Amino acid sequence: MNHLITGLLVAAMVCFIMGLRAMSRTHSARRGNLISALGMTLAIIGAILELVRLEHLAMTQAWIILAAIGLGALIGIPAALRVKMTAMPEMVALFNGFGGIASLFIASGEVVASGGGMTGFTASTAFLAMLIGGITFTGSLIAFGKLAEWIPSRAICFPAQHVLNALLLLAVLVGVVSFAIWPEAQWIFWAAIAVAAVLGIMAVIPIGGADMPVVISLLNSYSGLAACAAGFAIGSPLLITIGALVGAAGIILTKVMCKAMNRSLGNVLFSGFGSATSSGGGGPQGEAQSLLPQDAYYVLEAAQSVVFIPGYGMAVAQAQHAVRELADTLAANGCDVRFAIHPVAGRMPGHMNVLLAEANVSYDLLVEMDDINPSMPTVDVAVVIGANDTVNPAAVEDPESAIAGMPIILAHQARQVFVLKRSMRSGFAGIENPLFFRDNTWMIFGDAKTTIEAINGEFKEG
C-alpha cells in the first residue's frame, strides 16, 4: 500500500509540473489542462488511500469523499460548460477564492484536531494558511463583483484607508507570532479569521477595474501560497508542491502584467488607479468620424496589411469566429494579416489568446505588443475590436494622463484605424480615448460581431 500511495502522489506531482509547462504555450494549453486534471485525479486517489492507511478513514467511509467529489462535479461541469467567455474572468476569480477558503478550512481543521497541542511551526503555518486563504477568499469575491459590475469597477477609496489597512496587517502579524507561542489560545486563530476577511476586502476595493488582470494573477498566487502553508501545517508534500507551483506561477504572471502596464506591484495595490476619470482626455476632443461596414469593405479589400487588435468588446460580442473568417478572407486576398495582443487586453491574463484559440486562429498570427509596435506605421489598416485602454495614445502623449507611461499598442500610427464599438463610451479604466478623434480614425458603431459579419457579407458578394 505504501509503495502504491507514494507512486500515485509522485505521479500527481509530475503531472502538475508537466501540465503547468504545457499551459505556458497556447498550442499545448488544452493538453496541459488535461494532464493537470489527471494529476488531480491521482492526487485524490492517493489522498484517500493515505487516510485509509493511517486509519483516519475506513474504506467504507470513502463514499463520503466520493459523494462530495460527485456533488462538486455536478456543480462544476455545468457551470464550466455554460459560462460565457465574457464571464470567464469572474469564474477564475471565484476559483481563486474557493482555493483560498479550502486552505482556510484545512488549517482550521488542523487547529481543532490538535486541541491546542501544536508545535510553534505547525501553529504558525496553520495561521498563515488561514490568513492568506481568508484574504484570498474575500478579495476574490470583491474582484468577482467588480468584474461582473455588481459593485462599481472604479477604485473605492476613503480617508485613512492605508492607515486602516496597515493596522489590520499589524494585527495579524501580532496574531501569528502570538499563536505560534501560545497555540493553546485558539481564540487568537478564530479572531484572526474575521480580520483576514476584512483585510481581503480592504485590499481589493481600492483597486480600479483596469488593474483587474493584475489582481486576478496576484490572487491566484495567494491561493497557491495558502495551499503551500496548509501543506506544511498538515505535513503534506503534495500540497506543498502544488501550492508552491501555483504561487510561483501567479507571482511570475503578476510581474509580467505589471511590466506590461509599466507599473510596480505597489503602485497597483496602493495607488487607487481608476478612482478618477480625468487626465488623459477628460472630455470630447473634436468630432469623431463614422463609417459604415459597407464602406469599410472597400478599404479592407484594397489593403495590403491589416492588424486586428482585439479587446474586451470582442468577448462581449462573441465576434472571434467572425473575425477569424474575415482574417482568412483577407489572407486569401493576398493581405498580410496579424493579430496584435496586449498582455492585459480583456479582464484576465490571456483573455484574448483564449478567445482566438477558441476560434482556431493560428497561433503564428498572434504577435505580442513589443513585436508589432515597430511595424505599425507601415500597416494599412488597424482594426480595433472593442479595445480601449490598451490603444489609448494618451499613455504615450499626455504626461498628465492617469495611464501615462503604460505601454500600449500604437494603433494610432497605422495609416488608417477602424474602431469597432457600440458607442463613444470610455473603457474599463474610465478614461477618454483621444484615438477616437484622430484624422486617420473611423468609428464603426454597432455590435462588433454584426459589423464583422456585414463586412464578410460584402466580401462574399464581391
Catalytic residues: 389
Three-state SS for 160-203 is CHHHHHHHHHHHHHHHHHHHHHCCCCHHHHHHHHHHHHHHHHHH
In one-letter notation, the amino acid at residue 5 is: I
C-alpha gyration radius of the chain = 25
SS3 content of the chain, % helix, strand, coil (to 5): 65, 5, 25
Give Cβ neighbours of residue 72 (< 8 Å, ≥ 6 apart): none
Task: Give yes or no for a contact between 254 and 221, defined as CB atoms under 8 angstroms apart.
Answer: yes
Task: Give yes or no for a contact between 125 and 78, defined as CB atoms under 8 angstroms apart.
Answer: no
| Residue position matching grid coordinates 511570475 | 252
Question: The C-alpha cell of 375 is what?
Answer: 511595424
Q: Where are the alpha helices (DSSP H) in 333-442?
A: 351-358, 369-372, 394-397
* First-to-final CA distance of the chain: 70
DSSP string, 230-245: HHHHHT-HHHHHHHHH
Number of residues written out for the chain: 462
Task: Give yes or no for a contact between 210 and 219, defined as CB atoms under 8 angstroms apart.
Answer: no
> Closest Cα partner for 26 from 371, 351, 458?
351
Say how far apart CA 218 and CA 220 lie, in whole Å.
5
